Amino acid sequence: MKKSALRTTLKNYSITTFLILSFFFPAMAQGVKISSSPGTPDPSSALEIESSSQGFLPPRLTTNERDAISSPAVGLYIFNTTTNCVEVYIGSVWQSMFCGCTTAPVAPVAGVAIPASDQIIWNWNAQQGAAGFKYNVVDNYSTATDLGAQTSFTQTGLAASQSYILYVWGYNACGFSPSLTLNSTTLAPPCISFTVNHTAGAVAPVSKTVTYETVTSSLSGVSKCWITRNLGSTTQATSATDNSESAGGWYWQFNRKQGYKYDSGIRTPNTTWITSINESANWSSANDPCTIELGSTWRIPTGSEWTNAIANGPWTNALQTYASVLKIHSAGQLNNTDGVLSERGTSGAYWSSTESSATNGKYMFISNSSLFDTNAQKSRGMLIRCIRD
């Protein structure tokens, strides 16, 4: 008998013997050794293969063939012919162990990002030659986080309505690819009522808790979320001519963050009134009471947004603004000369964030018989209605 035939016979005999002993005499079957020379297997091994001229050849699969395996067992072992890597399934991903390559992989291809208000699910597609992937929020591979073979990453704890960037690299034993730059923007939070604890200080004139109802409207020209009462108002106005302090809310001078309450002839805080403001600037976000009191995505409407709302209403008087989803009513204003309340229940003045000159700002004026957007001294104290980006 030829040596090769004898070797095959010995191997088949050893395997057959191992299977028979394992079935009938499990305590006796300690392992099997495949070898061209007689001997017993190492006691720690269930299967020992011995050769001085040949190697062990595991199943060879492409990545697609590997991924087609249904419910791979933990510890399943293959050679991936796509990545030239020995891979073992570790229960959630295929882990590359030893890789052979000639070049680093090319950059991954962007997939479809799925944003929410507080997270983004980033997706990308693998390119041939990549054994795994890393990501980072800065374009620096050395500090990137390894994802193994995963082609998706969920980034959580994000701010609403903000733009984010993620960098992704493919890698193998020869190096790493150029970075793929992924861009996405988180969604705006849902337009729902929310509660704010106002604390007396540099913005709120008094401390109180207010629950603001909201509504989604395209009156400004683009769908936005608005609060349906004035900033600082405790109750919703009951009519276009509601003259109560609780529905009126607070008053501000242009580009000043300090708000004022006016009740029973008393202005709070009762500090020296600024009778003249002369500065070339729109209302800054640092001084915007909506941003400070309600959150970073809230702000005062621009002059154009009030102009659009008047046209889209269409509004010609306070009865129509109150009948709208925004419930805007005549809550008065504070005189520019002395900070005294005037015309609450008769007319109302609502600031925009846009200046018209160094001394005047744009605002919307309403009364039962008229309505227009115009300009007024920045030192007047007017109402604020907040809008969210």
Could you read off the pLDDT of 146-186 as tens digits, one per residue?
999 999 999 999 988 899 999 999 998 788 999 999 999 99
Q: What is the pLDDT of residue 30?
A: 62
Both 380 and 296 in one domain: the answer is: yes
Q: Are residues 155 and 33 in the same domain?
A: no
259 and 280 in one domain? yes
Spatial separation of the C-alpha atoms in residues 327 and 306, rounded to whole Å: 14
8 A C-beta contact, residue 147 and residue 176: no
List, in sequence order, every residue forming a beta bridge with 120; answer none if it has no partner: 115, 155
Distance CA 108, CA 114 (A): 18
In angstroms, rounded to a whole number, what is the distance separating the alpha carbons of residues 365 and 348? 6
Strand order in the sheet with 266-268: 251-252, 259-263, 266-268
Question: According to the model, what pLDDT value does residue 101 have?
Answer: 65
Q: Is 171 helix (H, G, I), strand (E, B) or coil?
A: strand
Q: Which helix (H) or strand (E) holds 344?
A: strand 341-344
* Strands 331-334, 298-299: pairing kind: unpaired
CB 194 within 8 A of CB 282: no
Residues 274 and 356 in one domain: yes
Note if the pTM is more than 0.85: no
Q: Are residues 211 and 317 in the same domain?
A: yes
Residues written for the chain: 389
Whole-angstrom distance, CA of residue 166 vs CA of residue 19: 54
How many C-alpha atoms does 156 have within 13 Å on its Cβ side?
Answer: 1
- Alpha-helical (H) ranges within 63-119 are 63-67
Please report, for the domain that includes residue 170, its CATH number: 2.60.40.10
289 phi, psi to nearest 5 deg: -60, -30
Let me know whether 251 and 349 are in one domain.
yes
What's the pLDDT at 56? Answer: 80
- Domain boundaries, position 255: 194-388
The verdict on residue 86 lying in a domain is: no
Phi, psi (degrees; rounded to nearest 5) at 220? -75, -10
Q: Are 352 and 334 in contact (CB under 8 A)?
A: no
- Quote the pLDDT of residue 55: 82
For the chain, how many structural domains are there in total? 3
pLDDT grade, residue 25 (50/70/90)? Answer: very low
> pLDDT-based confidence at 28, cuts 50/70/90?
very low
Residue 243 near residue 225, CB atoms below 8 Å: no
Q: What pLDDT, in 10s, does the model give residues 265-276?
A: 999 999 999 999
pLDDT > 80? residue 84: no
In the block, tokens 């072992």 appear at 77
Kindly report, residue by residue over 326-355, the tens digit of the pLDDT.
Answer: 999 999 999 999 999 999 999 999 999 999
Cis-peptide into 205, omega within 30 deg: no
Same domain for 209 and 168? no
Pairing of strands 214-217, 224-227: antiparallel
Is residue 188 a contact partner of residue 225, using CB atoms and an 8 Å limit? Answer: yes
More confident residue, 344 or 67: 344
Predicted confidence (pLDDT) at residue 375 exceeds the cutoff of 50: yes
